[in-house]
Amino acid sequence: DADVTQTPRNRITKTGKRIMLECSQTKGHDRMYWYRQDPGLGLRLIYYSFDVKDINKGEISDGYSVSRQAQAKFSLSLESAIPNQTALYFCATSDLGQGAGELFFGEGSRLTVL
């Protein structure tokens, strides 16, 4: 089983709908992140969390919200989806005290907003 699991893996929705992407991890890491990836733009940070109930905005947080109610779970919400939020979303975890503190990514959630 994957250490970082994202659900759903694929989702098609309509403009204005509320969407939640969920991430859970079994690595025991405190740090969790949400990135979006668009062709030609690389990975951009949406939100990150260093502990339960700790929430920090990233580079592109407008239109998104997150929740960290447990160490193992970090959910991303789009309150009212719009077409330019169509992207591949990745959850990631890290632990600065282990190895290089590299990121461990989930398998991604592909979201299409019509």
Query: Which residues are at the interface with another protein (CB under 8 A)?
Result: 33, 35, 40-45, 48, 50, 56, 58, 90, 96, 99-108
Neighbours of 28 (CB within 10 A): 11
- Taking the least distance from each CB to another protein, the nearer of 79 and 102 is 102
Residue 112: partners with Cβ closer than 8 Å, 6 or more residues away: 11, 12, 13, 86
- Taking the least distance from each CB to another protein, the nearer of 15 and 100 is 100
- Taking the least distance from each CB to another protein, the nearer of 64 and 90 is 90
Residue 16: partners with Cβ closer than 8 Å, 6 or more residues away: 80, 81
